Chain A
């Protein structure tokens, strides 16, 4: 598995020092494979080939992001320009370089923009996963690489989507590990992906003037088998509603490693 080839950054060193015995973020080795996304990649193409890559087993925590912010002052709370993060960036933290009593170090970090998430992953020698990569991993349950057709699997995810966003976030690593040993893809937070801007509910220039194709995410573009896969449709709706500087109380991220293709 291609790991970070650059020496571990200052952030990680600082993280280890701060967190004491806590190990650095673990990464799962994702095997290459073919994946059928809910939206066909193209008119004549149903599946995509996902190359092998590395992925954080758990979302990035407040403690890890704090270490990053301390090592990169331009990403501290209150230091980011509006282009890169909105005014609610890390709003729940107590200060520029402290979490405060109300924020758990092992909770996933939220209220981070896409730009901030990318900067964090770059400092770790990684990147954000692509949407295909994320969904490829998230299709697995504890035993199967693709559990998306299983109504029980969908129900489990939807039950979380019904939980009010105002609840206190649990620590990372408390949900069952999936087939690849990756946790918290469902049931904790929403996550940024590198190409969230590829989700187009409207304004797609190639379909102007064709009412049947106005929305390529619309039902007409969905294959029959997965038209009722509401968890994935909800994730797509969320991603398509985001701008890169947005931050929300339940949107975090994890990093991927190795070239994407």
Chain B
């Protein structure tokens, strides 16, 4: 199965930005004494999903700034609740990945599912979906986003989609692992079988 995103090309600029960020820190004036506990978070890496500055609505209705997930590895995908073809497999694969972790590990990961259907997948509907599919929140976060933000999140994750006249969606199924800073560390399009490599990357991100 082809992966449309060119990972190396995206990672090179990230590395450059990280270098630039390092240089900026080094230039900080020496007379500024910042207590370690009050130090601002280090600059967000250039390749971080959190550069989008997007806020979503969790299924319980709470507003959730994506960058508030910083500090925790996140497994993220996009789906829609009325999908009858591939999304059930996508949801199942998210659950399989969660099940591959022990309880301690699972508590330190978030499994973020953002709906492609901004018009119809309201938080109450997503809440019902989470209940129906036995998705405990946390570690799952089943979220609605505004239409423009859905496009931005999908674009940043390399997820292609298009709504059809019957209001269903044609979409690529991609599960992405974000490291603690929101930078893509692994991705999989495997749905029908386990993907041990992806799980290994997730466990590595937790170490």
Contacts and interface: CB of A to CB of B under 8 A. Distances in A.
Interface of A: 41-42, 44-45, 80-84, 86-87, 114-115, 118, 194-195, 197-200, 202-208, 216, 240, 243-245
B6 A205 contact: no
Interface string B161-178: 110111010111110000
B14 interface: yes
B200 interface: no
Interface residues of B, number: 46
Contacts of B37: none
Interface stretch (B46-54, B68-76, B96-104, B128-136): B46-54
B86 interface: yes
Nearest to B49: A83
A104 B170 CA distance: 41
Interface of B: 1-6, 9-10, 12-14, 16-17, 44-49, 51-52, 85-86, 90, 148, 151-152, 154-156, 158-162, 164-166, 168, 170-174, 189, 191
Contact of A83 (B47, B85, B86, B159): B47
A141 to B, nearest CB: 28
A203 B4 contact: yes
Nearest to A83: B51
Contacts of B164: 41-42
B160 A199 contact: yes
Q: Which of B47, B155, B162 has the most CB of A within 10 A?
A: B155
B51 A87 contact: no
Given A114-B155, A197-B151, 12 more contacts: A80-B46, A81-B45, A82-B16, A82-B46, A83-B156, A84-B51, A198-B161, A200-B162, A205-B172, A240-B160, A243-B155, A243-B158
Contact of A198 (B3, B12, B162, B173): B162
